[in-house]
Structure 1
Amino acid sequence: MMTGTAAWADRLLQSFAQAGYVRAEPPILQPAEPFLDLSGEDIRKSLYLTTDANGEELCLRPDLTIPVARDYLRSPEAGQSAGFSYLGAVFRYRGGRPSEFLQAGVESFGRQDRAAADAEMLALALEAIAAVGIADVEIRTGDVALFIALIDALGLYPVWRRRLIKDFNRKITLEQDLERLAQASLATRNEYEGVLAALAGSDRKAALALVTDMMSIAGATAVGGRTVAEIADRFLEQSTLKGGALPRDALNVLKRFLSISGAPNEAITQLRSLSSDAKLDIGAAIDQLEARVGFMVERGIDIKKVRFATAFGRGLDYYTGFEFELHRKGNGAEPLVAGGRYDGLLSQLGAPSPIPAVGFSIWIEALAQANGSSIAARGRVS
């Protein structure tokens, strides 16, 4: 590693240590299954994979959040409040850019005071980049928990609930979903729309079993490598989507919700107005946002510099609440720092009961460019 980067590393780790975060150094070689399970098979093309003598699929770590979380779950501190920092190489194919690059960050596990922990992560991230000479940044924030609360309050059919929550972080896909919903609500009724609506509103497992049995009775067999159950699952979802499962009022509420952006306090006012006008019970999620903003102020964060948008998402399915990015002024695409809350991740990794978690990652390449330095993305941290 070049001398300038080594100095940055020391400053970052010192700032994390002063805040009480112990350095974690998980192995570079990791089981591939958690990454594939949590990010989907689409990530496979970006991983560097191998197989051990027992047939287990392994990979070079593509990030450090999951490895740090796995080490925490195997430690005596599992389930208790604990904080870790890290700085090390990660490995991902990035199409013409170096596949080995440096990532730093912080992960906080087990804290029940979620709003305060969220605010601490944002404050630590701002302090960390200030420690390497960058202070003037754009602060972009959002909260997927608000979107989930809205979807639940609207009482949508399960198939639409699953689809919209899944696509929240994929803005183009979400826009396509809303357009499809708009067209479906205008479509004429067909002779089996009532059946589709009944299936959509029923227990998913029961509906899937019914469709699977009907296909089997009709003599359906595997097609194109898909089993009867897989074909039935796809049919159930697609036929329900075509059935026009969303009332126009709900569509209008969704569009109004996703248009809210600006200063956090202004957004809170607009959200409370929407909740009242549409008679939706999303007060608890709004209260959590308001509490987080209060803790940000206590942490010395200038709220006037924070932008909140209900449509803001980070493109990762495991986020469950607060999300944020820090960008260099005028750089819309590449974040310097990115993170958020992921309360469901540790349960997916095997925790016997839910454990709150929040953290962030720092992209050393982007940090170097923002600081006007020229460093190699490839390097080692001693």
Structure 2
Amino acid sequence: MNSQFEPVRRLPNMQDVGPNELAERDAAISTLRGSFGLRGYDRAETPILEQTELYIRKSGGALSSRLYGFSEPGGSEVSLRPEFTSAILRLAADNGASSSPVRIMYDGPVFRYAAPEDEDGEKTRQFTQLGAELIGAPAPSADGEVIAMALEGLESLGFDQARVVIGHVGIVLAALTEFDLSERAKLFLINSIAQLKNGEIDVVTEKASTLGFVSDAVVDDAQAAADRERIATTIEQVMTEGIGVTLGKNTGARSPEDIISRLSRKMSQADNPANFKRALDMLSALSKVNGPANRAIADGTAVLANAGISGDLISNLSDVLTSAELEGVSADRISVDFGMARGIAYYTGMLFDLYAGGNTGETLGGGGRYDGLTRALGYDKDVPALGFAYNLDAVVAASSISTGEGDDIVAVSPESEGSIVSAIKKARKLRSEGKRAAIDFQQSESSQSGEKS
């Protein structure tokens, strides 16, 4: 008889995980926990469901647009976790992480939506992350530890040729500061790194022109002052009349006058088109610098020098590389890429991606430094921190992991053992010896059917 119901199918881009795949994942988790534990990392868990605010405070639009968010019955806006870092940092900050370095490892499912037409549209929307965070330790030595540990974990799973590609968003931010640009202009340029790296400077320039960053118009001081006065009047009217505007709860001790002045100054700040163009050219050249560490450092220094910027900005990256080598990472396993882009905006310093071999193919994981995240989450001080995570599903798929489990199951037949009671005793004895044993109930049913007839 056919069912009157249609089968309930899986959601698009979700996956079932069978026994073999799950055994491989469990074996990888066990191995990696052991590897991280040797460096003093301890496990922690955070909720799968969190307030959405936790993930959008500092993560940028790329991540917030991929959240599985909804209103819970109690009225709170919540999301399934898309990553662990923010929650782990909150946990550490609530337990006094600023007094001494805290080493935490974690693993579990994360959820990121992607529409079919998106760049990641073919990827699964639920996957497993396993990673670690080192909280309360400054660069560069801590950076070297985390990079080395990330590679050691892959080595423990058989990736003998694993490599790391390192970038540094802090250098990019510091270099852009030299051009006296507004925060809005710097954010636009940073978000355009991937396009500039691909040689799409004309596309970026056109977009910049549309947004008013590149223009033949000249805004003098008098015009800027007039704009500030006009905007301040508008803001004051909005604050007085309450035209659907929420300024937020964290205004601190600032008076309404201070808020008006600050907002009007930010909104009316005009970027010098010539400075913007120089910054764009510099970033376009810098984003294309990649390769072996020594060569990339030299080429990056030259790009900055051509733009009139001191090469001392790159010294922190050089120190990070030295720290990684002191931790045992050979120089031939490290590449530098100044055009490394990230979809999560809270990184402030060193970034890195992990590969099975070479710098091509799908990344197995990555991470970086995010020193400003604690304050963005509402705490009263910045705590130096960094971490990384593997996409464990990608790691397992690319490896040859031994599960340590035998595939053979001994089927114990009640018919051959004389009775179901004897079969159960036999199966229990086999299990006590470490063997896998299961009752063949089909044989039992066949035997009983024969007896009844």
Give the alignment's TM-score, normalised by structure 2.
Answer: 0.67
Q: 2:323 aligns with which of 292, 295, 313?
A: 295
* 1:197–1:254 CA distance, 2 compared to 1 (3 A): farther
Deviation at 1:258, TM superposition (A): 2.5
* 1:108–1:178 CA distance, 2 compared to 1 (3 A): farther
Cα deviation 1:119-147 (Å, max 9, x = unaligned): 11111110001111112234221101111
Per mean C-alpha deviation after superposition, the further-off stretch among 262-271 and 23-32 is 262-271
In 1, the alpha carbon distance for the partners of 2:386 and 2:103 equals 10
Deviation at 1:304, TM superposition (A): 2.2
Q: 2:380 aligns with which of 338, 349, 352?
A: 352
Secondary structure at 2:57's aligned position in 1?
helix
Secondary structure at 2:95's aligned position in 1?
coil
The equivalent residue for 1:379 is none
Secondary structure at 2:97's aligned position in 1?
coil
* 1:208–1:21 CA distance, 2 compared to 1 (3 A): farther
Secondary structure at 1:246's aligned position in 2?
helix
8 Å CA contact retained: 2:194, 2:341: yes
Deviation at 1:263, TM superposition (A): 1.5
The equivalent residue for 2:129 is 103
Q: 1:213 aligns with which of 220, 233, 248?
A: 233
Secondary structure at 2:175's aligned position in 1?
helix
Tell me, yes or no, if structure 1 residue 85 matches structure 2 residue 105: yes
In 2, the alpha carbon distance for the partners of 1:240 and 1:301 equals 46
Q: 1:272 aligns with which of 290, 295, 301?
A: 301
The equivalent residue for 1:17 is 37
Letter matched to residue 133 of structure 2: E
8 Å CA contact retained: 2:109, 2:126: yes
Q: 2:94 aligns with which of 62, 74, 95?
A: 74
Tell me, yes or no, if structure 1 residue 257 matches structure 2 residue 286: yes
The equivalent residue for 1:177 is 204
Secondary structure at 2:347's aligned position in 1?
coil
The equivalent residue for 1:380 is none
Letter matched to residue 106 of structure 2: Y
The equivalent residue for 2:314 is 286
* 1:174–1:145 CA distance, 2 compared to 1 (3 A): farther
In 2, the alpha carbon distance for the partners of 1:29 and 1:216 equals 39
8 Å CA contact retained: 2:27, 2:401: no
Q: Which has the larger radius of gyration?
A: 2
In 2, the alpha carbon distance for the partners of 1:372 and 1:207 equals 64
TM alignment of 1:1-382, pairs within 5 A? 2-40=22-60, 43-44=63-64, 46-95=66-115, 97-112=123-138, 114-168=139-193, 175=201, 176-178=203-205, 189-190=216-217, 193-195=218-220, 199=224, 210-211=230-231, 213=233, 240=270, 244-246=273-275, 249-283=278-312, 285-329=313-357, 332=360, 334-371=362-399
Q: Percent identity?
A: 27
8 Å CA contact retained: 1:47, 1:62: yes
In 1, the alpha carbon distance for the partners of 2:361 and 2:135 equals 29
* 1:108–1:280 CA distance, 2 compared to 1 (3 A): same
Letter matched to residue 3 of structure 1: A
* 1:197–1:288 CA distance, 2 compared to 1 (3 A): farther
Higher relative contact order (CA 8 A, sep 6+): 1
Per mean C-alpha deviation after superposition, the further-off stretch among 296-305 and 323-332 is 323-332
* 1:316–1:238 CA distance, 2 compared to 1 (3 A): farther
Secondary structure at 1:307's aligned position in 2?
strand
- Structure 2 alignment gaps of length 5 or more: 1-18, 116-121, 247-262, 404-453
8 Å CA contact retained: 1:185, 1:245: no
* 1:64–1:265 CA distance, 2 compared to 1 (3 A): same
The alignment covers a number of residue pairs equal to 355
Secondary structure at 1:90's aligned position in 2?
strand
* 1:214–1:59 CA distance, 2 compared to 1 (3 A): closer
* 1:169–1:21 CA distance, 2 compared to 1 (3 A): farther
* 1:216–1:99 CA distance, 2 compared to 1 (3 A): same
Deviation at 1:6, TM superposition (A): 1.3
